[in-house]
Amino acid sequence: MRRVAALILAFASVAVHAAGPDDDGVGFTGMYVSLCMKHFTDLDAFHAKLLRDRVPKLPPQDARLFTGKVEGEAWPVPYKGQMGNFVLAIAQKKNLCMVHARRTNPAEVEKKFIAMVSEAPKPLVVKRGKPVVKGRTRTVVYTWAKPGARRKMQFTLRTDASPRAPLQAVGTVATVAD
């Protein structure tokens, strides 16, 4: 966790310019795993560490673009020494972590996402939701839970194959109840 925060801090001083696309989806997938999945079981502690370490975050009005209808905060995340393509968002008072990619390869991101979440560690059971397709936008959802549990970990990926889409991928991890 310290390494992630230190990396974000180290690159935050780099001049801000639009980073190039994540052509193979590796950047998005790596951030989703290392920022959201890894810290999800103690997201409050990770959030507090980002704040305590004074990792540069987006102003509240800009953060709202990435947190949607929930209150939260957002941080630009460097990739290959550049800022501008990825944002981490964490909701306040909710177990919700999000990674956003301005430009990536939607098909590769979806392939890597499904490979990660389609199998859960024992004793958790995986349930795949029905993919939703609207034009060039696809949403896939998987949940992990113990058999009979009311609360589940939900992994959601929304991709947009349009080169003009404001965001081409948004991955979330959340706790949901039946």
d(CA 21, CA 37): 22
Q: Phi and psi for 46 in degrees, rounded to 5?
A: -65, -45
Asked whether the predicted pLDDT for residue 2 surpasses 60, the reply is no
Flag whether pLDDT at 86 surpasses 60. Answer: yes
Buried b (16+ CB within 10 A) or exposed e, 14-41: eeeeebebbeebebbbebbebbbbebbe
Q: What is the average pLDDT across 127-133?
A: 96
The residue assigned the tokens 């058999």 is 147
pLDDT at 30 over 70: yes
pLDDT value at residue 155? 98
The domain of 71 spans 2-177
Average pLDDT over residues 8-22: 38
| Structural domain total, the chain | 1
Confidence of residue 21 (pLDDT cuts 50, 70, 90): low
Q: Please, where are the H alpha helices in 13-55? A: 26-31, 43-52
Contacts 24+ apart (CB under 8 A), 11-15: 11/78, 11/81, 11/83, 12/55, 12/56, 12/76, 12/78, 12/83, 14/78, 14/81, 14/82, 14/83
Stated length of the chain: 178
> What pTM, to 2 d.p., does this model score?
0.84
pLDDT digits (tens, 9 = 90+) for 88-100: 999 987 899 999 9
Q: What is the pLDDT of residue 178?
A: 78
Type of residue found at 85: N
What does the pLDDT read at residue 150?
Answer: 93
